[in-house]
Amino acid sequence: MNKAYILENGIIELYLLGELGAQEELALERLLAKDDDLKVHFKSIESNFEAMALDNAIAPPKIVKAHVLNSIRNTSNAMPLPTTPPLKRYLGIVASIAAILIVGSIWMYSQLNETKQQLKIAKDTNDLLLKDIIDLQENLKSTTTWLDVLNSPNTKQYILKGNTLSPSARVVSYVNHEYKKVIINTVDLPKLDEAHDYQMWADVDGEMIDMGVINKNSQLVAMNYIEDAASLNITIEPSGGSDHPTVSRLITNIYL
């Protein structure tokens, strides 16, 4: 055993932890007595071990002190001499405690991250449930309003029949000026490809005003109510609708 071997293989650390055999301990102690640089390095590591132990020290419960004092009182005064040097034994205990604290800290950190993840999942789930509840409430409110409109004696029903461009088209519209609502039934409106949509227009003093694109996926659709509309008109427009109606693709209209 020489100085290079000691430094490269962590022999001093093993010595302080009580992990060396008797012959290796003796050889190291002889070198420490001769080599001042090695002795300084030993003191530095020893101080680091002590500092780590003090930084991570946890005060034991008071009951432990009582148990220790009772054990001392019940023990014979003649105590055997320790076979391990007191300092090394102390450092070994300190290092073991530090290792336990480090492992415990890692475990607690892992548990904390897992708990945070579970809380995030629970929050996301609650947010989705809340959104579903709000959507259901809005749908219920809309459905209730639509029923009021459809059942109202002031609601007027108009049937828009298709022209030669779309002879099978048939749309039932319900107009209520009191509620300012227009609802249409599109069950008999022929399906369009993905590149086109039906769009509804209101004629007000000769100007066509957009009432909205007709939803392809619903049978009952609420359209925009336009004041003083003289007629209702439906055209075929590019997907998403147009700013102005394509008159050549007018499929149906009716005067109010």
Confidence of residue 107 (pLDDT cuts 50, 70, 90): low
Joined together, the tokens standing for residue 256 give 């109010």
Tens of pLDDT, residue by residue over 16-25, are 777 888 888 8
Query: Reading across the β-sheet that carries 220-223, which strands appear in turn?
Result: 156-161, 170-176, 181-188, 220-223
Give, to the nearest 10 degrees, the angle between helix 86-151 and helix 36-55: 40
Residue reference for tokens 């709000």:
134
Task: Give me the sign of the Cα torsion angle 18, 42, 96, 5.
Answer: negative
Distance CA 240, CA 214 (A): 10
Residue 173 makes CB contacts below 8 A (sequence gap 6+) with 157, 158, 159, 160, 182, 183, 184, 185, 232, 254
Distance CA 243, CA 246 (A): 9
Average pLDDT, the chain: 80
State the pLDDT at residue 81: 46
Residue 68 has pLDDT above 60, yes or no: no
Beta bridge partners of 222: 183
Joined together, the tokens standing for residue 1 give 């055993």
Percent of the chain with pLDDT over 90: 34
Residue 69 has pLDDT above 80, yes or no: no
Whether 168 contacts 188, CB under 8 Å: yes
Distance CA 198, CA 251 (A): 9
- From 29-38, 189-198, 229-238, the region with the lowest mean pLDDT: 29-38
Query: Which value, to the nearest 10 degrees, does the dihedral of the CA atoms of residues 114, 120, 125, 129 take?
Result: 150
Number of CB atoms found within 10 A of residue 252's CB: 22
Residue 184 has pLDDT above 80, yes or no: yes
State the pLDDT at residue 31: 86
Whether 45 contacts 16, CB under 8 Å: yes
